[in-house]
Chains A and B, each alone.
Chain A
């Protein structure tokens, strides 16, 4: 079954304790991205990756890191979490044809990771 898998689904942590939210997709998608969802703000993009070893900042990258060492995985790292990073996080992936933007581009989303930082 085609899917995007995020772990953990729920996490409560304390300020400053490094954590990683994993994301894995089994669809051989080139494009992967992370979003946070906050009430009244919709989804905001944190980081995205066009392919292996290619990552770029989204609209709210502060306090986050990512890496893309393998095509299927795109972990989100919070080096020193703070309470303002309490949010619902989504990983998503999509495919594009080689050569750029003929991609039809719909995103496939994971089920979300609810993070609380105390």
Chain B
């Protein structure tokens, strides 16, 4: 079965330092991978996606993610963290159910705390 794992419930990082939020996946076939961010009392917002092509994907707010097929990982990164990046981050994979349908599977989320 398709699955997504976010091994860290929380990541703390000092402002200005690089950050990494980890995600590993298990899919059959080519993965369609996504990162979303959720700020308090808000819905999820799309950050970036990997469909095909370059393994390094750039997204919103200076975030990027690296797709690694051999390690089945899709880690979210940012070179220099901001306090305003503090939020809940979700990794997701699109799962083909049948030839005509698909659904999304989300990880359990990682809370990022950027300390001033």
Contacts and interface: CB of A to CB of B under 8 A. Distances in A.
A98 B46 CA distance: 22
B97 A56 contact: yes
Contacts of A43: 44, 90, 92, 106, 109
B45 A109 contact: yes
Nearest to B98: A56
Which of B44, B45, B94 has the most chain A CB atoms inside 10 A of its CB? B44
Interface of A: 4, 33, 35, 40-45, 48, 50, 56, 58, 90, 92, 100-101, 104-112
Given A42-B90, A45-B105, 20 more contacts: A33-B104, A41-B108, A42-B6, A45-B104, A56-B101, A90-B43, A100-B99, A100-B100, A104-B49, A105-B34, A105-B51, A106-B49, A107-B36, A107-B44, A107-B92, A107-B104, A108-B46, A109-B43, A111-B42, A112-B43
